[in-house]
Amino acid sequence: MEELRIGVFVCNCGTNIAQHVDVDAVWDAVSALPGVAIARSYRYMCSNPGQEMISKDIREHQLNRVVVAACSPRMHEKTFRNACRNAGLNPYLCEMANIREQCSWVHTDQLAATEKAKALTNAAISRVRYHEPLESLTAQMCPATLVIGGGIAGLTAALELADAAHQVFLVERTATLGGNLARVDLTAPHLDSARDLITERVTRVGANPRITLMLNSELQSLAGYVGNYAAIIRTKNGNGGVQERKIDVGNVVVATGYQEFDAGRITHYGHGKLPNVVTSFEFEQMLRKGRIETRHGKLPQYVAIIHCVGSRNREFHGYCSRVCCMTALKYAHELKSANPACYVSDIYVDMHAFGKGHEDFYKTTSEVKTLFLMFDKNNRPVIRKAGANDDCEMLIEVNETLSRERIEIPADLVILMVGMEARADSGEVARLVNISQDKDGWFMESHPKLDPVATTTDGIYIAGTCAAPKDIPDTVAQARAAAARILGKIAKGKIEIDGVFAEVQDDQCSGCRMCNELCPYSAIEFYQESRRSHVIAAACKACGACVAACPSGAIKGRHFTVEQLHAQIDGVLA
């Protein structure tokens, strides 16, 4: 083994580190350690002069290891690895000691903080001597994409990808395209026809030779990793039989949508018992048929719309379903245009009119004389049958919040604005494509703000209401965002795989398969012929679960070897 020549670079981070850590003391303590060829401290290591200092020292002092005592590696590890690469040093021979987030920022005692910074830096020095040069790998990127779900999200993503001249497999469980949007009459706030929105897309999908449309089909299984997935699609044919087809895809868009809340769960709203209490989707059906009528075929004179059915209440779903408020206003408009004398009362918890044009829509709904009544979400309205002398079918008792009065309003028809919920089988889908769900069953994004359509599994994207309730513009934006992410990857042609992953040492593997089930990323496959497990480097996230679990110690976590970790612990305790 060549002689160790370690360079240690201690950053002041302006006053971020220097205020609570005596940087010179750290520098003084490490500069005499065995193997340390040079030690420096500087105000901002991440600045261009700081990076150049590191590169220059590597060249001039023939350094073969670098330790940067600065911030979190999440912040600047890439920066310093690049500085090493620029000087001809393998980037994995660089190690960071986090003396900012884990030291200066969280301590006030300067002496103790300085001692801790010394220990952390010492640990990094101790560890880095066991670092090995690593190379990143590349894999092929299959340009075909699997889109699961034929609603507005799936249709949009499929068209976006196919229009860029790539193969798309569009899998839809039912016999028709359009999803939940196809059940809707007009859309808020512009009162455009939902049918028009979908028909254009469905026609284009049907006419596009690059889209393989698979109706009555479901994903059976998905194996592989980003760029190289193999999916098995199961299709029901007309005579009750089932066909299976294997397709190769590089990426997957999950656009499975939502299901509506079952209004019958709120028993005192009487859905299913009172004949003229309908859900929003049942009312959409009336609108699509062009006949708004009670069960007895009469034109309703009094219509009540109740918001937040199943939403924004801990008893059912704590979240807001985002589209019901505007849909309710849309109903008020449609009712008033069908019968201007109709008395429409809109019974809401809070009016959420957050989108473009929504506030104006709310105002115009007021102008057509919709009665807005506010109720407390823990004190729901009560619906009962009207008496023989009343000129209405039902009476609704509302504890009205704005006036603090308990009032009774007439209704011939009650529309329950049912919220969105994760589909009953969303857990199954999540398991198939290996993504996570939140507490409500919605699919989890990689980052809720910065990476909203990617998931923690590379190559699997989510779009639309399978991720959370959202309206049409947001759904379409997400579908296009997912397509853009995939097109970017396809354009690169190859995928780069980080050099840090787990490796099975074949000669030590007993084939017990314990790691196969344990891997949270489904990155370990089993070779039947040799009866050995194998880690798919591209799918491995280097979490180390298999390394720790292997009873034979046959799995080596690259860049997190036992020697490296032991040396780090020894260093911190020294």
Partner 1 sequence: MAIRVNPKLINELETYGAADVQNCYHCGNCSAACPFSKEPFLIPRRSMRHLQMGLEEKLKGTLEPWLCYYCGECSQQCPRGAEPGETMMSLRRWLTSRYDLTGVARLFYRSWKAELVALILVSLATMVGFLTMGFGFGHGSLDVYAGAGALFPDHLVHLLDLGLAGLLAAVLLTNAIRMWWLTTGRNRGLHISLWSYVKNAFLLPYHFLTQARYSQCEKKAPWLTHLAIFGSWVTMEVLVILLLERFHHQETIWAVHVFGYLATIGLLGGTTYALVGRLRKRETHYKHTHPTDWMFLILIAGAAFTGIVQHASYRWFGLDSVANIAYVIHMMFVVPLLAVQIPFSKLSHLAFRPLAMYLAAVHADALADVRVGVAQTEPARLAA
490's tokens: 């396809």
Using DSSP, state whether 243 is helix, strand or coil.
strand
Q: Does 371 bind partner 1 (CB under 8 A)?
A: yes
**Least distance CB 25 / partner 1 (angstroms):** 48
Contact status: 370 vs partner 1 (CB under 8 A): yes
The site map against partner 1 for 289-308 (x = CB under 8 A) is -------------x------
- Picking from 313, 339, 311, 334, the residue whose alpha carbon sits closest to that of residue 323 is 311
Q: Which is nearer to partner 1, 80 or 372 (CB)?
A: 372
Nearer to partner 1, 217 or 370 (CB): 370
- With beta carbons less than 8 A apart as the criterion, state whether 234 and 244 touch: yes
Is the Cβ of residue 225 or residue 348 nearer to partner 1 in the bound state? 348
Least separation in angstroms between CB 366 and partner 1 = 5
Asked if 388 interacts with partner 1 (CB under 8 A), we say no
* Residue 154 · residue 182 · CB < 8 Å: no
Span of 72-80, 252-260, 365-373, 445-453 interacting with partner 1 by CB under 8 A:
365-373
Nearer of residues 123 and 308 to partner 1, judged by Cβ: 308
Q: Check residue 367 for interaction with partner 1 (CB under 8 A).
A: yes
Residue 158's alpha-carbon distances to 150, 152, 169, 232, 304, in angstroms, are: 9, 10, 8, 18, 40
Per-residue HEC secondary structure of 106-150 comes to CCCCHHHHHHHHHHHHHHHHHHHCCCCCCCCEEEECCCCEEEECC
Residue selected from 246, 369, 447, 494 as contacting partner 1 according to rule CB under 8 A: 369
Tokens representing 121?
């830096």
The interface with partner 1 within residues 113-152 (CB under 8 A) comprises none
Assign 3-state DSSP to the chain and report helix, strand, coil percentages, each to 5.
35, 25, 40
Which residue's CB is nearer to partner 1, number 226 or number 308?
308
H-helix or E-strand spanning residue 160: helix 152-163
CB of 351 to partner 1, least distance (A): 8
Residue 366 within binding range of partner 1, rule CB under 8 A:
yes
Residue 557, H or E segment: strand 555-557
Closest distance to partner 1 from the beta carbon of 352 (Å): 13
Please, are residues 139 and 243 in contact by the beta-carbon 8 Å criterion? no
Q: What angle do CA 298, 303, 305 make, to 5 degrees?
A: 140
225, 283, 372, 375: residue in contact with partner 1 (rule CB under 8 A): 372
Report the nearest approach of partner 1 to the CB of residue 387 (Å): 11
Q: Treating both helix axes as pointing N-terminal to C-terminal, what angle do 472-492 and 152-163 enclose, rounded to 10 degrees? A: 30
Q: Is 59 in the site for partner 1 (CB under 8 A)?
A: no
In terms of CB distance, is 371 or 491 closer to partner 1?
371
Is residue 89 helix, strand or coil? coil
d(CA 251, CA 254): 10
For residue 189, cis peptide bond before it (omega within 30 degrees of 0): yes
The nearest distance, CB 189 to partner 1, in angstroms, is 16
In the complex with partner 1, which residue's Cβ is closer, 339 or 516? 339
- CB 369 to partner 1: min, Å: 5
Of 291 and 298, nearer to partner 1 (C-beta) is 298
Nearer to partner 1, 135 or 391 (CB): 391
Question: In the complex with partner 1, which residue's Cβ is closer, 325 or 538?
Answer: 325
The answer to whether 485 and 478 have CB atoms below 8 angstroms apart is: no
Question: Which C-beta is closer to partner 1: that of 194 or that of 409?
Answer: 409
- 3-state SS, one letter per residue, for 196-226: HHHHHHHHHHHHCCCEEEECCEEEEEEEEEC
Cβ atoms 305, 332 nearer than 8 A: yes
Least distance in angstroms from the C-beta of 376 to partner 1: 15
370 CB-near residues (< 8 Å, 6+ apart) = 329, 332, 336, 344, 345, 346
Query: Contact between 221 and partner 1 (CB under 8 A)?
Result: no
Told to check if 72 binds partner 1 by CB under 8 A, we report no
Least distance CB 295 / partner 1 (angstroms): 22
Of positions 27, 343, 361, 501, contacts partner 1 by CB under 8 A: 343
Cα separation of 567 and 129, whole Å? 9
Shortest distance in whole angstroms from residue 412 CB to partner 1: 12
DSSP secondary structure letters along 443-492? BPPSBTTTBSSB-SSTTEEE-GGGTS---HHHHHHHHHHHHHHHHHHHHH
Q: How far is the CB of 315 from partner 1 (least distance, A)?
A: 24
Range 396-425, binding partner 1 (CB under 8 A)? 397, 400, 402-403, 405-410
CA 275/CA 193 separation, integer angstroms:
28
Nearer to partner 1 (CB atom), residue 154 or residue 410:
410
**Token pair for 392:** 């209405």
Total residues at interface with partner 1 (CB under 8 A): 22
Name the minimum Å distance from CB 406 to partner 1. Answer: 5
Q: Quick one: 262 or 397, whose CB is closer to partner 1?
A: 397
Closest distance of CB 342 from partner 1, Å: 10
Give the per-residue SS3 of 96-107.
EEECHHHHHCCC
Smallest distance, partner 1 to C-beta of residue 338, A: 18
Two tokens, residue 333: 């408009």
Q: Does 331 bind partner 1 (CB under 8 A)?
A: no
**Binds partner 1 by CB under 8 A, chosen from 351, 429, 432, 453:** 351
Nearer to partner 1, 266 or 304 (CB): 304
Which parts of this chain interact with partner 1 (CB under 8 A)? 302, 343, 351, 362-363, 366-367, 369-373, 397, 400, 402-403, 405-410
